Amino acid sequence: MKITNEVHLIDGLNCNCYLVLLKSELILIDTGMPNNEKKVIDYIEKVLNRKATELKTIIITHHHLDHVGNANELKKLTGAKIAMSEKDGMVLSGKIKPKFNRNLATFVYKIFMKFFGFKKVNPDIVLKNADMVKEFEVISTPGHTEGSISLYDKKRKIMFVGDLMGCKNGKIISAPKMFSLDMEENKKSIEKVSKYKINIMLSGHSDPVLKDVNKLIEDYLKS
C-alpha cells in the first residue's frame, strides 16, 4: 500500500511495517510476526521492482514479537543492519527478559515466543533519543515498553509511532494496556510527540492518519 511516494505499508504481517524508499537504499520500520519475511522480500522485488539487498537498515520501534518477528531472517537475507534502542535491544538479544505489568501478558508472550520458535538477534545500531537515522529523528517514547521509540521525518512531517498510540473511529487511542509496561509513562510520551508538527501519523496497528493529527492528539490528551 502506497502512503506517499517514499513510504509504503506492507500489509498482512500482523503489524504495520513500513518501507521507506530512498534513492540508493531502503529502510524498513518494524518486521511483523515471524515467518513472514517472504512477504517483505516479495514486496521489495515484485511491487517496487528493487533488489532485496537495497534494504540497508531495519529500525525496530520496540521489542514485541509482532514487531521483531522477522528481524533475524531479514538480516540474513538482505544484509541489513538492525537498529533499536539499547533497552529493547537487550530484550531482542536475550540479555534481559521482557517486562510487562500483568502476569497474563508475560505468560502469553512466552507461549508465542515458544510457538513461533523465535530466534534472538543482536542489534547492530543502538539508538538514543535525538539520534538521526538517515532522515529520521529518534524520539524516546517509553511506556509501551521501556525502550520504545518513535521516528520523525521533519521534511515530510511524518511520525512513525509504533504502538505508542493509534487511531480508532477518528479518535486517538493509547497503547494496549494489557501489553504495556507503564500507561502513565506512555501518556507522557504521547505528550512529547504532540510537540512536533505532524501531517501524517503511522502506527503499528491502525490505519494511517492523514489529516488533523495534532488536533486529534490534543483532543486525546484533554480527555
Q: Pairing mode, if any, of strands 55-59 and 136-140?
A: unpaired
Q: What is the pLDDT of residue 9?
A: 98
Q: What are 91-133's pLDDT values in tens digits? A: 999 898 878 776 656 666 677 666 666 778 999 999 999 999 9
**Per-position pLDDT tens, the chain of length 223:** 999 999 999 988 989 999 999 989 999 999 999 999 999 999 999 999 999 999 999 999 999 999 999 999 999 999 999 999 999 999 999 898 878 776 656 666 677 666 666 778 999 999 999 999 999 999 999 999 999 999 999 999 999 999 999 999 999 999 988 889 999 999 999 999 999 999 999 999 999 999 999 999 999 999 8
Q: What does the DSSP 8-state code read for residue 116? A: H
Task: For the chain, give every domain's residue range.
Answer: 7-222
pTM, two decimals, is: 0.94
If you search the block for the grid coordinates 506512555, which residue do you land on?
186
For domain 7-222, give the CATH number. 3.60.15.10
Spatial contact of 208 and 9, defined as CB atoms under 8 Å apart: yes
Question: Which H/E stretch holds residue 183?
Answer: helix 183-193
Please, what's the b/e burial string for 141-167 (b: 16 or more CB within 10 A of its CB; e: otherwise)? bbbbbbbbbbbbbeeeebbbbbbbbbb
Which of these, 189, 191, 216, 186, lies nearest to 201 by C-alpha position?
A: 216
Please, what's the b/e burial string for 45-70 (b: 16 or more CB within 10 A of its CB; e: otherwise)? eeeeebebebbbbbbbbbbbbbbbbb
Q: What is the pLDDT of residue 162?
A: 97
CA distance 173 to 164: 9
Q: What is the pLDDT of residue 19?
A: 98
Q: What does the DSSP 8-state code read for residue 1? A: -
